[in-house]
Amino acid sequence: MKRLVHTTALAILMSMTVACQADADKAAAPTTGKTATAADSVTVESPFVRAVPPGQPNSAAFMALVNASDTEHSVKSATSPVAATVELHTHTNNNGVMEMRQVPQIDVPAKGRTELKPGGLHIMLIGLTQDLKAGEKAAITLTFEDGSTTTVDAPIQEVTPPKH
């Protein structure tokens, strides 16, 4: 009987040790849940690049940025293989004269959207490395404040200038 009690006590002690070790392993294991990045939270809708005549040095890209998260995000830069330089821009009215200005970032509000459109915010493609023909596509990579990126293949389209 004494031996049975001793064996039972040893079995209980061993099972408790195994259970404690399993809890410790679980606590030490890395979590499989990934923190969402800005690129995960912001989607691009209706992207397009303005077609330009052959030899034209510059163009622009437009799109809507939609943020599904509860956190504001911002595009800090962009790149494209179709241009030597890519800049974030806006148009401003300076005493009745519309001027383009580079901006440090394009903000996308939490649970909101930001429109990049002719006459407003846009992405400038400067020093084109190829002709931008309607019907083709141009890749544009957006880099967000957290370093995450998303690349879109924007259709190249003829754009009629806005009427005043």
Nearest to 55 by CA among 124, 131, 126: 131
pLDDT of residue 58: 97
Q: What is the pLDDT of residues 80-127, one digit of tens each?
A: 999 999 999 998 888 888 888 999 999 999 999 999 999 999 999 999
Question: Which domains are assigned to the chain?
Answer: 38-157 (2.60.40.1890)
What is the phi-psi region of residue 111: left when phi exceeds 0, alpha when psi lies from -120 to 50, beta otherwise? Answer: left
Which of the four pLDDT bands, split at 50, 70 and 90, describes residue 12? Answer: very low
Distance from C-alpha of 59 to C-alpha of 69, rounded to nearest angstrom: 31
Distance from C-alpha of 131 to C-alpha of 80, rounded to nearest angstrom: 13
Averaged pLDDT, 63-87: 98
- The CA dihedral of 135, 139, 145, 147, to the nearest 10 degrees, is 160
The mean of the pLDDT values for the chain is 84
Q: What is the pLDDT of residues 35-45, one digit of tens each?
A: 789 999 999 99
pLDDT of residue 22: 46
Burial letters for 36-52: b for 16+ Cβ neighbours within 10 Å, e otherwise?
ebbbebbbbeebbbbbb
Supply the pTM of this predicted model: 0.76
